[in-house]
Amino acid sequence: MAIFTGAGVAIVTPFKDNLEVDYNKLEQFIDYQVENGTDSIIICGTTGEASTLTHEEHLECIRVAVNRVNKRIPVIAGTGSNCTETAKYLSKEACKAGVDGLLLVTPYYNKATQKGLVEHFSDVAHSVDAPILLYNVPGRTGCNLAAKTTATLVNQVENIVGIKEASGNMSQIAEIMLLTEGKIDLYSGNDDQILPLLSLGGKGVISVLSNIAPKDTHDIVAKYMAGDQKGSLELQLKYLPLIKELFCEVNPIPVKKAVELAGFMSGTMRKPLTEMEPENAQHLEKEMKAVGIL
């Protein structure tokens, strides 16, 4: 059984003006997501600015998420690293906190060969009991997880059960489904490709858009799964202009501005991320108004 089906939010991490993590705002935002149809909380991923959290903050965000959700929906923790031992440490601690699954990104900067990726993910997976989603986002990591490698991991490691695919390479994604005979939980890592991945047998999306449009993002998947492909397509296309603006600067700069515009929290980020360019922020606000968020 999949960890979740539908739209999981790649949730932002709120910061106070002094750049401390605002755990109270995080709890409030988690409640908002759960109450508005989000199917899973993905905490401490790319959108959650995990790369600038200390290990202590990272793990505390995970604990807060697990406790606040309180089993209402699954919680998946981002615990990947470009250091295998660090990924093992974060994964073990996240499991102690009670997460329902782990999201492991490919090693970044130092990267790895395909053989190295098999060993890295296998080592981390064997150190825990939780189900694991691989995360392929070569545009950020400089490291692509090949379809054959994904299939090897899914077939050889029992608790590697799925993948968040954000390569944008539909041919590669189709090959993953072919080589695994569909025995993998596939999630889109790109909000503009939810419907195409569902058509290949996907289970849903791990979404940036869900931060500000949780119900409709959920409905893109729910409608498709219920046989309403037309309704799903209409929603997917409706949100394409807003999705474009959410990625007009490096994620999560635009979505942090979006949650601020929507009144959820301060859009404060930790450097090296900086304030959104004013012209881009105006376009973002316009598209948020166009779909009725503002």
User: Could you confirm whether 88 is annotated as catalytic?
Assistant: no
Residue at token pair 């474009």:
244
What the block records as the tokens of 132 is 């694991």
Identity of residue 28: Q
Q: Among the options 23, 25, 88, 135, which is catalytic?
A: 135
Distance CA 222, CA 231 (A): 10
- Tell me the residue length of the chain: 294
Query: Looking at this protein, which amino acid is placed at residue 174?
Result: A
Residues forming a β-bridge with 164: 135, 187
Residue closest to 186 by CA, chosen among 229, 143, 154: 154
Q: Is 148 helix (H, G, I), strand (E, B) or coil?
A: helix
Is 96 a known active-site residue?
no
Q: Which long-range contacts (CB under 8 A, 24 or more apart) does 194-198 make?
A: 194/7, 194/220, 194/221, 194/236, 195/220, 195/224, 195/229, 195/232, 195/233, 195/236, 196/170, 197/165, 197/173, 198/224, 198/225, 198/232
Residue 48 tokens, joined: 């959650």
| DSSP SS3 for 285 | helix
DSSP letter string, 56-82:
HHHHHHHHHHHHHHTTSS-EEEE---S
Residue 287: enclosing H or E segment and its boundaries? helix 278-290
CB 204 within 8 A of CB 7: yes
Selecting among 164, 203, 256, 257, the annotated active-site residue is 164
Residues recognised as catalytic: 135, 164
